[in-house]
Structure 1
Amino acid sequence: MIHQYKLNGYNIVLDTYSGSVHVVDDLAYEIIADYEKTSAEKIVTTMLDKYKDDSSISESDIRETIADIEELKNDGQLFTKDEYENLSLDLKKRKTYVKALCLNVAHTCNLSCDYCFASQGKYNGDRAIMSYEVGQKAIDYLLENSGHHRNLDIDFFGGEPLLAWKVVKQIVAYARSKEQEYKKKFRFTFTTNGMLLNDEVTEFLNQEMYNVVLSLDGRQEVHDQLRKTVNGKGSYEHIVPKFKEFVRKRGDQEYYVRGTYTRNNVDFTNDIFHIADLGFDKISMEPVICDPKEPYALTEEDLPEIYNQYEILAKEMIGRGEQGKGFTFYHYMLDLSEGPCIQKRITGCGSGTEYLAVTPWGELFPCHQFVGDEEYSMGNIWDGITKPGLQCQFKESNCYSKPECKDCWAKLYCSGGCPANALHATGSLGGTYDFSCDVFRKRVECSMMVKVDESIRAMEGQSS
């Protein structure tokens, strides 16, 4: 399977199953499109007629191009066959071990964001703060069920996890105390709205957290429209100075400023550029996931402009990079030379198997987006997984288990998509959220173009 597209002056050809990306001239681009369904002689005739007024293209050029394509095919870089479908069947039978936990340490929040999937941090339930005892047992559960995994991940999440600040510090200390005994290494991630950031918090987070996610939607008028305090006031002016100081002190450690775009700001690149202009160089911006009846919900009518915005973003990133003002965009971080192993590319994030969410009461869910849906309560940290059948549903969910993914060129980049999004959009873990698929494919195209541009400029720099 191949995918061809034109963007920013490049003719790009992706070979899905080898992962090879080719940048070709117009002649090769057209021949590749016809190569598998047309004979070589017919291609020669067609191309000669098409380029009859172009003296730079001769019959020998056409035949040479066909020979080059044939060579790439023989080398396994074009028109490669799918050798992974049977592997997906084996992956369903594999024994899995838990590698990561999302600790919902605070089912409460000091903001009241209109689009919050967690219902302002309460997850459609009671407000609660995780106790140290539950946090301690969660660490024990991960250690005892991590199998061969040496590096273990803990995400501190909410609500607003800084409302559980004392517990967070206790859990980190307990986890660190167990590393040598179990020969494991913990990596912590922390997501915060920034309202309670101070010097003490900053020092601790910068010392202990592998990554910190800072929530900011962009321009003040955009951010304040939906990210408000419980008193209805915007939070932009309060958090931006705190975020700037936090990132300054963080140095070269990992962080992300993460925003959400809605129908209120389909021109979301202006929010990304605003964040970059504030001095932040690691940025993520996600489309809102919400009830389609909400006035800020994105619809298929918005897709053409969303596509346009992602192209604007890609071109601007290239331009800023040339000026020494580059920034990282999370969804354009595509490794074309190595990337994740094929098992990961088939199975995805591991929700419900290698990754679980823990509520303040110790209940286990497939991930934070399922918390509060009792149908997807999988067990607890004392008894472990009590619904193995449910866990099997997640183990079996991948890019080969969904008929809609069969002919999708991007399936080995999305692994079949987010199970939570599929459930909320279609009512089934095995469904596909078409809107999300469309957006994802566009982001892959744009990220590939950025990587192609980087590679070409690097080669030009080496030759000059």
Structure 2
Amino acid sequence: MRIVTVRMDAMSENVMRLRSENIHQVVVGGRAYLLVVPHTALFQLDDVSSAVLDYVKRHGAVRREQIFRDLASAHGLEALQDVLGELASLGVIDTGQQNGHAADALPLGDRGTLTTLVLNVSNRCNMGCHYCYGGGFQDLQSGQKMSWPVAKRSVDFLLQRSGSHRKVTLVFFGGEPLLNFELIKRIVPYARNQAAERGLLVDFTITTNGTGLTGEVIDFLKRHRFGVTVSLDGPKEIHDRRRVFKNGRGTYEVILPRIRALLNEYRDRPIGARVTLTRGVTAVGEIFAHLIDLGFAEVGFSPVTSGPSQSYTLTEAELEHIFAEFQELAEQFLEKALNDEYLGFSNVSQIITDFARGTSKTLPCGAGLGLLDVDHNGDIYLCHRFAGTPGVAPLGNVGNGGPHFVRIRTFLNAAQTTRQTACHQCWIRRMCAGGCYHEALSRYGDPFHPNLHYCDLLRQWMETGLRIYLEIMQKNPDFISKYLEPRRVDYETL
């Protein structure tokens, strides 16, 4: 982090005010910490820093001479000058001068480069999950699959747009992507060969419902070191409540032996489970324990808070219950971490990773910032959730010159401006950035609208994640570099 020195003589001529929207203070283990929000930077506060912050907070608007007069005898003039200069440079104190920190402005720059492309290789699905956001996905017989020409153009498009990046990722998605396994078998070697000619590495990930995990498929995934996520909602009685075949029959007994085979035979990369929490499905602890017992390395939960059908949207009481269970799992994560063990609870490990990396964003995800989606026709969307959404036009087509990057830039600028205005007082704004565009479109009819319906719960959850991160840093700091820094976050929002 770059700290810009502020001229103290200039500071003396201006009134100083605390920029409370730019800080969040916590005490963990008897130690005081300051989170500088725009940077997602954490500092342990010493006595001088704490005294200055408390003084400015109490008085509202002060001059430098007042602080020196009242605090110099206890803390020393030079120490006070250093602290004031650093707080000003971080944007914590407003001196009326240029502080070396531009409030929340991050230039979007050239967004024509890509690192990740999601391929909807199959619009077909052999299941009929009640809550599927892609309710328009067709059945096994009538749905559409991506063709080889579209797939080839998509791979070429990604590689041509890789810019200075040395590694790109292809995500196979659907529908159920393994219903077009023959195409995947053609795409992977083609992408590898074309990437190698450009001096690039290409990574592959897939999200599957598990029904197509045959021996041949598992061997292929192993051979090409796929990142694999399986959509699975827990034990049989919970899973079969929503995840069923077209005829209403539960899918658990069909996929269980296939998942076991995957977990037993493929150990080169951690296999993750993705759980969708809907109305009436809130037993987080029970679901997590079952999936970890099966052998999944990571389990991530996606609560449904909006959608076309309110019958699957979680109630406010259910959301509170879910976050309470999240808190319990987070405490288990902490206990394990302090014993130098890793518990694969993705929802908390991602927060801790973000604090460790200093993740600071003004937009909620990578959609349009390096990630795009291509549907079976070659049409391009911001992400997989927008593909097929009524009223959402594609951004272009891979066979027709690719996306209109001016439109993408316009969208991102509008999102950034709207959400910064609405969220500018929130201390988690640089980690949340207003939430999912598609969720906002579903709930508010506006993709730029911040997802305000769970703000309080999310702030509480981030507070928990921050506390756990700081406790780990106090008591077992090597855990972060050992378990979290090497961790590669795949396309976890799928």
Contact 1:115 1:226 in 2 (8 A): yes
The secondary structure found in structure 2 opposite 1:285 is strand
Matched to 2:465, the amino acid is S
Residue 283 (structure 2) pairs with residue 267 (structure 1): yes
Q: Which residue of 1 aligns with 2:150?
A: 134
Tell me, in whole angstroms, the C-alpha distance in 1 between the residues paired with 2:430 and 2:43: 17
Tell me, in whole angstroms, the C-alpha distance in 2 between the residues paired with 1:224 and 1:112: 11
Q: Which residue of 2 aligns with 1:79?
A: 92
Q: Which residue of 1 aligns with 2:58?
A: 38
Question: What is the CA distance between 1:246 and its match in structure 2?
Answer: 1.3
Q: Which residue of 2 aligns with 1:17?
A: 38
CA shift in 2, pair 1:248/1:100, >3 Å: same
Residue 290 (structure 2) pairs with residue 278 (structure 1): no
Greater Cα shift, 299-308 or 216-225 = 299-308
Residue 455 (structure 2) pairs with residue 434 (structure 1): no
CA shift in 2, pair 1:276/1:323, >3 Å: farther
Q: Which residue of 2 aligns with 1:208?
A: 224
Counterpart among 247, 262, 274 of residue 258 in structure 1 = 274
CA shift in 2, pair 1:263/1:163, >3 Å: same
Q: Which residue of 1 aligns with 2:395?
A: 378
Tell me, in whole angstroms, the C-alpha distance in 2 between the residues paired with 1:112 and 1:395: 34
Gaps spanning 5+ residues in structure 2: where?
1-21, 61-70, 480-494
1:4-58 deviation line (CA, Å, top 9, x unaligned): 4578998765331343336789x99997985433149xxxxxxxxxxxxxxxxxx
Residue 318 (structure 2) pairs with residue 308 (structure 1): no
Question: What is the CA distance between 1:181 and its match in structure 2?
Answer: 1.9
Tell me, in whole angstroms, the C-alpha distance in 1 between the residues paired with 2:324 and 2:52: 26
Matched to 1:127, the amino acid is G
Counterpart among 341, 345, 360 of residue 329 in structure 1 = 345
Counterpart among 432, 438, 442 of residue 424 in structure 1 = 442
CA shift in 2, pair 1:338/1:309, >3 Å: closer
Matched to 1:378, the amino acid is L
Percent identity between matched residues is 28
Counterpart among 220, 238, 249 of residue 233 in structure 1 = 249
Contact 1:189 1:210 in 2 (8 A): yes
Contact 1:13 1:21 in 2 (8 A): yes
Residue 115 (structure 2) pairs with residue 99 (structure 1): yes
1:284-320 deviation line (CA, Å, top 9, x unaligned): 1111254375323113343432332221121122234
Tell me, in whole angstroms, the C-alpha distance in 1 between the residues paired with 2:173 and 2:375: 10
1:164-183 to structure 2, matched below 5 A, reads: 164-183=180-199
Tell me, in whole angstroms, the C-alpha distance in 1 between the residues paired with 2:406 and 2:137: 29
Aligned length: 436
CA shift in 2, pair 1:103/1:436, >3 Å: farther
CA shift in 2, pair 1:166/1:292, >3 Å: closer
1:233-257 deviation line (CA, Å, top 9, x unaligned): 2222332332233123222413311
Counterpart among 164, 172, 180 of residue 148 in structure 1 = 164
Q: Which residue of 2 aligns with 1:362?
A: 378
1:242-284 deviation line (CA, Å, top 9, x unaligned): 2233123222413311111122123323312322233323111
Residue 468 (structure 2) pairs with residue 450 (structure 1): yes
CA shift in 2, pair 1:87/1:2, >3 Å: closer
Tell me, in whole angstroms, the C-alpha distance in 2 between the residues paired with 1:336 and 1:391: 26
Gaps spanning 5+ residues in structure 1: where?
41-59
Residue 427 (structure 2) pairs with residue 405 (structure 1): no
Tell me, in whole angstroms, the C-alpha distance in 2 between the residues paired with 1:460 and 1:98: 33
The secondary structure found in structure 2 opposite 1:129 is coil
Matched to 1:297, the amino acid is T
Tell me, in whole angstroms, the C-alpha distance in 1 between the residues paired with 2:472 and 2:313: 35
Matched to 2:231, the amino acid is S
The secondary structure found in structure 2 opposite 1:369 is coil
Contact 1:120 1:159 in 2 (8 A): no
Q: Which residue of 1 aligns with 2:125?
A: 109
Greater Cα shift, 418-427 or 244-253 = 244-253
TM-score, normalization: structure 1?
0.82
Contact 1:2 1:409 in 2 (8 A): yes
Question: What is the CA distance between 1:413 and its match in structure 2?
Answer: 1.0
Question: What is the CA distance between 1:377 and its match in structure 2?
Answer: 0.9
Q: Which residue of 2 aligns with 1:221?
A: 237
Tell me, in whole angstroms, the C-alpha distance in 1 between the residues paired with 2:236 and 2:79: 53
Counterpart among 393, 415, 427 of residue 410 in structure 2 = 393
Tell me, in whole angstroms, the C-alpha distance in 1 between the residues paired with 2:39 and 2:307: 38
Contact 1:397 1:429 in 2 (8 A): no
Matched to 2:227, the amino acid is N
1:107-149 deviation line (CA, Å, top 9, x unaligned): 01111111111116349xx611111121111111222223222
Counterpart among 19, 23, 28 of residue 2 in structure 1 = 23
Question: What is the CA distance between 1:212 and its match in structure 2?
Answer: 0.9
Tell me, in whole angstroms, the C-alpha distance in 2 between the residues paired with 1:417 and 1:428: 12
CA shift in 2, pair 1:369/1:35, >3 Å: farther
Question: What is the CA distance between 1:452 and its match in structure 2?
Answer: 1.7
Tell me, in whole angstroms, the C-alpha distance in 1 between the residues paired with 2:451 and 2:255: 33
Tell me, in whole angstroms, the C-alpha distance in 2 between the residues paired with 1:148 and 1:128: 35
The secondary structure found in structure 2 opposite 1:271 is helix
Tell me, in whole angstroms, the C-alpha distance in 2 between the residues paired with 1:72 and 1:207: 55
Question: What is the CA distance between 1:105 and its match in structure 2?
Answer: 0.5
Q: Which residue of 2 aligns with 1:55?
A: none
Question: What is the CA distance between 1:430 and its match in structure 2?
Answer: 1.6
